[in-house]
C-alpha cells in the first residue's frame, strides 16, 4: 500500500538484541489530508536509520508500507512497516529530473552501424 503524508512527529529510536542479532526500530507519525479532515498514521521503520535520518517534520513524502496483523495472548496487534520512502514531487517539477542526477544520455543505435570489429583477444 502507498500513501502520501506529511511528517507530523519523529519518535525516539528503540534498540534491542534478538536471536538474529541487534535491531533498531523507529516510529514516525505521518499526517494525511483527506478532504476536510486529517488522519494520523504511525509507521515503523525497522533497521532503516538512514531513511529516518532524511526525514524532516512538516515535509511531504510518498510512503510505501506493508500492513500486517498478528495475535498474541488473545489480542490482535497491527504493524505498519515502511519499505520505501520518496519525497513528494511538486506538480511543477513532476517531469523534470532530480537536480542531483546527471542527464540520461541516449544509447547509440547499433542497427545501422557498419560491421562490428571484434577487438577481443583470441
pLDDT tens track for 60-100: 999 999 999 999 999 999 999 999 999 987 654 444 444 55
Instruction: Supply the CATH number for residue 12's domain.
Output: 2.40.50.140
Q: What is the pTM of this model?
A: 0.68
Tally the domains of the chain.
1
Instruction: Classify residue 10: in a domain, yes or no.
Output: yes
Instruction: Classify residue 108: in a domain, yes or no.
Output: no
Instruction: Classify residue 99: in a domain, yes or no.
Output: no
Instruction: Classify residue 47: in a domain, yes or no.
Output: yes
Instruction: Classify residue 110: in a domain, yes or no.
Output: no
Which backbone phi and psi does 117 adopt, to 5 degrees?
-100, 125
33: cell is 489530508
Range of the domain at 57: 2-89
Give residue 34's pLDDT: 82
Query: Are the CB atoms for 43 and 27 separated by under 8 Å?
Result: yes
Amino acid at each position: 500500500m502507498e500513501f502520501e503524508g506529511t511528517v507530523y512527529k519523529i519518535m525516539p529510536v528503540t534498540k534491542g538484541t534478538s536471536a538474529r542479532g541487534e535491531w533498531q526500530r523507529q516510529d514516525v507519525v505521518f499526517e494525511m489530508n483527506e478532504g476536510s479532515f486529517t488522519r494520523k498514521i504511525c509507521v515503523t521503520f525497522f533497521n532503516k536509520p538512514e531513511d529516518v535520518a532524511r526525514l524532516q517534520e512538516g515535509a511531504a513524502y510518498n510512503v510505501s508500507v506493508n500492513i500486517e496483523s498478528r495475535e498474541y495472548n488473545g489480542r490482535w496487534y497491527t504493524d505498519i512497516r515502511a519499505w520505501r520512502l520518496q519525497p513528494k514531487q511538486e506538480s511543477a517539477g513532476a517531469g523534470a529530473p532530480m537536480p542531483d542526477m546527471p542527464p540520461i544520455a541516449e544509447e547509440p543505435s547499433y542497427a545501422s552501424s557498419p560491421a562490428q570489429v571484434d577487438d577481443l583477444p583470441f
